[in-house]
Amino acid sequence: MPRTATSTRRKTQNQANTPLSWADDTELVGLVFDLEATSTTSLYSQYTIGLHAWFLDQVRQLNPKLSAYLHDSESEKPFNISALEGQLLPSGKQLQIQANQTYRWHVNAISQPVVQFLSQWLTQLPLTLELRDAPLQIKQVHIAHPATTYTQLLNSLISKYSDISFNFVSPTSFRRKGHHLPLPVPINLFHSYLRRWNDFSGTPVEQDAFLEWIDENVIIHQHRLESVKVAAGKRGSVTGFTGVMSCGLSKPALANTEFTQLFYALVQLAPYCGTGHKTTFGLGQTRFYWVEPEQTTPSRVLTNLLGERIDELTAIFTAQRKRTGGERTDKIASTWATILARREMGESLQVIAQDLEMPYITVKTYVKLARRALKDPMSKS
């Protein structure tokens, strides 16, 4: 993982805010950081890759073993992060953060080892979040989602007849049969939460029967959704959705008290674990309240343009390759598309290489091949 955090200066006990604390058996907690921009400067549209890398580097400095697990594990990730919340303005093909403006950034942990790391980390936070050429001072940290355990979620007292409102505050998507599914279909929604539950709660549930019950008994009452295409993670783009949805259980569903209890436990898990995939890069941030969706902002339009361009180029490069389909073809086409689209947005090849964890010379070669393929569709790649 590239080191985007170049500063290792950490606050002393006197400089830091009063340390946040929670019980030793805590398994889930959500934090929100108040960050202040030290100057007005440009920020590349896929900056969540930098936030992801900075956080993992912070873990590496204090707990290398945990960092390796978070970086390399193929299982569900026991943490997620948000994008920056605040005034991000378009500036040419990039975003711009404003001097002296406050931005909010969420970090959520859904396993005890990560919660324990956060507890240690908060006592020695660095003064600054170094996000490439856009340093952000860490002003304060709050608890956004209270410290709890999976057992406490399961035993929480919630009315069996309560309807639920989900607010998908960042683009959210699922994978279905090799394609993106930009809709909060209940079976996909709760499968997403159940996977995290089974990985980290210590009390896994047989999923087929529960998901069949979800499919038969969860009723969508209302929604306000918008589809978006965004660049997500290190390669490729995602077709997702943002907005709000309310749902509830049918009356016959309440006869199954075990599944009803699990249903409401997973609902409460959602803000901690996020929804869908690529949640460690800012996608799938989920809240519990109904808020009418805001109109599309200029910064989101810019972010969407990158995702749309990556998707367009991926389709072109996939069609050009001799082998149709297959994991290797898809990966190469997606990589070429990501590199070329980001280069078109004004990013340097060196920065792109760092984000993709690829040698600079390879990225340089790929962008040449991608440009050649666009100019000469019949060329052999």
Say yes or no: 160 and 204 in one domain: yes
Assess if residue 296 is contained within a domain: no
Say yes or no: 143 and 183 in one domain: no
Say yes or no: 131 and 155 in one domain: no
Please report how many Cα atoms fall inside a 13 Å half-sphere around the Cα of residue 21, on the Cβ side: 4
Say yes or no: 166 and 133 in one domain: no
Say yes or no: 123 and 211 in one domain: no
Q: What is the pLDDT of residue 326?
A: 57
Beta bridge partners, 175, equal 180
Say yes or no: 223 and 98 in one domain: no
Alpha carbon distance 73, 70 (integer Å): 6
Say yes or no: 157 and 142 in one domain: no
Q: What is the pLDDT of residue 106?
A: 98
Assess if residue 324 is contained within a domain: yes
Alpha carbon distance 188, 180 (integer Å): 12
Say yes or no: 162 and 257 in one domain: yes
Give the CATH number for residue 175.
3.30.70.1900
* DSSP assignments along 18-63, one per residue: PPP---TT--EEEEEEEEEESS-EEE-TTTHHHHHHHHHHHHHHH-
Which positions ≥6 away from 172 have C-beta within 8 Å? 182, 184, 240, 241, 242, 275, 276, 283, 284, 286
Q: What is the pLDDT of residue 8?
A: 37
Q: For Cα atoms 9, 110, 108, give the angle at the middle one, nearest 5 degrees.
A: 45
Assess if residue 362 is contained within a domain: yes
How far, CA to CA in Å, does 186 sit from each of 192, 246, 278?
10, 11, 19
Say yes or no: 142 and 164 in one domain: no
What is the mean pLDDT of each successive set of 10 residues along the chain, which is 381 residues long?
A: 37 46 96 94 86 95 94 88 89 82 96 97 94 89 96 81 88 84 94 97 95 96 89 76 94 93 95 95 89 58 70 80 63 84 81 82 88 70 49
Tell which of 115, 148, 181 closes a domain.
148
User: Tokens 């309807």 — which residue?
Assistant: 163
Assess if residue 380 is contained within a domain: no
Q: What is the pLDDT of residue 208?
A: 96
For residue 41, give its domain range. Answer: 28-148
Say yes or no: 184 and 220 in one domain: yes
Q: What is the pLDDT of residue 43?
A: 85
Say yes or no: 205 and 257 in one domain: yes
- Biggest alpha carbon distance in the chain? 65
Against a cut of 0.85, is the pTM above it? no
**The 88-91 sheet, strands edge to edge:** 41-43, 94-97, 88-91
**Domain count of the fold of the chain:** 3
How far, CA to CA in Å, does 173 sit from each of 168, 176, 207, 225, 232?
10, 10, 20, 12, 11
DSSP 129: E
Quick one: angle between helices 349-356 and 360-375, nearest 10? 110
Q: What is the pLDDT of residue 318?
A: 80
Q: What is the pLDDT of residue 5?
A: 35
Q: What is the pLDDT of residue 292?
A: 61
Assess if residue 217 is contained within a domain: yes
Say yes or no: 37 and 130 in one domain: yes
